[in-house]
Chain A
């Protein structure tokens, strides 16, 4: 499309062409101030010209953003989006530190570790922490908890919610603004009721629920975290066709990634540990094989270090490989009690 075809006044058209703006692409990227100076017109008029240009070239998305390709974003826009994103705290500052502030919304994070290391504890903790009201620095949202192993304990969730509420109120003791409004929300029962719990007893149910998540999230509105504890349990039974298993899992992971992106919510997927034979020796590795290991944006391994628990960021496109110790206390996930072992960069 040519400048001459724009629905603007002929004088402005002339000015544009004589200033060298012959095609729309060059107009799309110019700032109103610069255009007003070059054309010697008012800024208001210049920005009108740009607006008309954008509309005509179809380069304005529905959300009023400039888009080069329909549905695409510039890296700059992604960066500013990311700046506004909140993180969901794990409950331990050290752990949050290696994650770059906590669990990221809009991404799929896989958490693996041996039985008893605290995967379920982390899951419950995140389901509680996502609900900390916005005035207290949280996200004030709901959680979806998909339990495939049956290890979710309401009484434990209640304990963690109670401790989370107490700690939050304690650290905001002198900050009263707006806090009265959410007084009735700061109750363990309220927190528990906002964990949407699904108990899954077979892999068919698991696939069905994951495929339905889109609808559930739309219905429930502000869901900001989906926790699946664990993704692997039902896929480790009798699967005759291993290629089929790989395909099904790949599809699940794509569904989860799309969901995370679309609703900017965090997806946290727990995975079990298995032994793998390499060169005659046995090594611990996460279950579900190599194809699956590409399926999650971030991968965090929880492991024992003597009697301490440690978390290790094994894979992430944006974080350095680092590890931190944490502990599972009566109140939930917290910093390790012995502070001798600080965050260790690899």
Chain B
């Protein structure tokens, strides 16, 4: 099959709304379809919350910024937060038939699952009646952090996974969201200065860096970082978790390095508009 050149003007530029206008504006419209977007952050930074909101947004009709599509949620850290999903979609009927949930605990499981997903994605009439347009993997770190005896094998597995995800993202115009943990960064590490701006990342008074190293960083198209901000004073003053949270664009080919505060309420994740 000869490959044909494409005109960039005809490439898809569809975005999946995050379900909040402030966050969408920060990201130039939302999570791009055809892209692998990483959401990294420490535990309880809001990664899964944002993922759930994306699931609802994908199912929402196009008139309200959704894709009117189905989505696939692959969990490596069960249980799937079904109650939270229901509370987020309060009011409207939860689009549960349009959210497929699966689990994978190892690289092998995951790759097999994704191969089956290929078949599911290419069905002309998908089971839920809508095409799948969003794939969430929560989290990639759990898969690769569990078994890491052989660094070389691990990195080739990371690249294999990334290539598969990117291929599916491209072929089926999927928005792919992958969550990642963070690791602590210790000052005085010799190679850290070269990696540069990661040193600016901090969450809950700690210097951190997204997990899975440089190999994985090479694999994502866009890296978002969720943090609990230190500027907010005593985060543990018992005010019901109202410490500051920040969403930061670490790198993305189409966005400058920006950030925005956000909060998590019962109704969902909301960005805080800065006074301009």
Contacts and interface: CB of A to CB of B under 8 A. Distances in A.
A220 B7 CA distance: 13
Interface stretch (A23-31, A43-51, A151-159, A338-346): A151-159
A189 interface: yes
Given A115-B220, A201-B170, A154 B9 contact: yes
Interface stretch (A11-19, A173-181, A277-285): A277-285
B6 A198 contact: yes
Given A212-B2, A236-B159, A282-B191, A195 B166 contact: no
A144 B170 contact: no
Interface string B198-229: 00100000000000011101111101000000
A151 B35 CA distance: 7
Given A114-B194, A150-B35, A282-B190, A234 B163 contact: yes
Interface in B124-161: 155-157, 159-160
A186 to B, nearest CB: 16
A238 B160 contact: yes
Contacts of B196: 114, 117, 303-307
B223 A116 contact: yes
Nearest to A142: B5
B223 A303 contact: no
B121 to A, nearest CB: 14
A154 B8 contact: yes
B7 A192 contact: yes
Nearest to A277: B151
A274 B195 contact: no
Contacts of B170: 150, 199, 201
Given A116-B223, A156-B253, A237-B160, A192 B3 contact: no
A144 B5 CA distance: 8
A282 B9 CA distance: 43
Interface in B243-271: 250-251, 253-254, 256
A72 B180 CA distance: 56
A195 B253 contact: no
Interface in A192-242: 192-193, 195-199, 201-202, 205, 208-209, 212, 216, 220, 233-234, 236-239
A208 B3 contact: yes
Interface in A284-342: 284, 303-307, 328, 330
A233 B170 CA distance: 15
Contact of A114 (B7, B8, B217): B217
B66 interface: no
A35 B268 CA distance: 92
Contact of A116 (B169, B250, B254): B250
Nearest to B249: A116
A282 B193 CA distance: 13
Contacts of A283: 191
B163 A237 contact: yes
B34 interface: yes
A305 B194 CA distance: 7
Contacts, number: 137
B254 A330 contact: no
Given A114-B195, A114-B196, A236-B155, A152 B5 contact: no
Majority-rule SS of A interface residues: mixed
Contacts of B35: 150
Interface string A131-163: 000000000000011000111111111010000
B119 interface: no
Contacts of B3: 198, 205, 208-209, 212
B166 to A, nearest CB: 5
Contacts of A303: 194, 196
Contacts of A109: none
A272 interface: yes
A304 B194 contact: yes
Contacts of B160: 237-238
Contacts of B197: 116, 304, 307
Interface string B6-23: 111101010000000000
B190 A149 contact: no
A309 to B, nearest CB: 8
A39 interface: no
Contacts of A306: 196
A253 interface: no
Nearest to A219: B5
Contacts of B157: 238
A149 B215 CA distance: 13
23 contacts: A115-B220, A117-B196, A150-B34, A150-B166, A150-B169, A156-B253, A189-B9, A192-B9, A198-B6, A209-B3, A233-B163, A237-B159, A237-B160, A237-B163, A238-B156, A274-B215, A274-B218, A275-B214, A282-B190, A284-B194, A284-B214, A303-B196, A304-B197
Interface of B: 2-3, 5-9, 11, 13, 28, 32, 34-36, 155-157, 159-160, 162-163, 166-167, 169-171, 190-191, 193-197, 200, 213-215, 217-221, 223, 250-251, 253-254, 256
Interface of A: 114-117, 120-121, 124, 144-145, 149-157, 159, 189, 192-193, 195-199, 201-202, 205, 208-209, 212, 216, 220, 233-234, 236-239, 272-275, 281-284, 303-307, 328, 330
Q: Which 3 A-B pairs have the closest CB atoms?
A: A304-B196, A116-B251, A196-B5
Given A150-B169, A197-B6, A304-B194, 12 more contacts: A114-B217, A150-B36, A155-B13, A196-B5, A202-B167, A233-B162, A272-B218, A274-B215, A282-B191, A284-B214, A304-B193, A304-B195
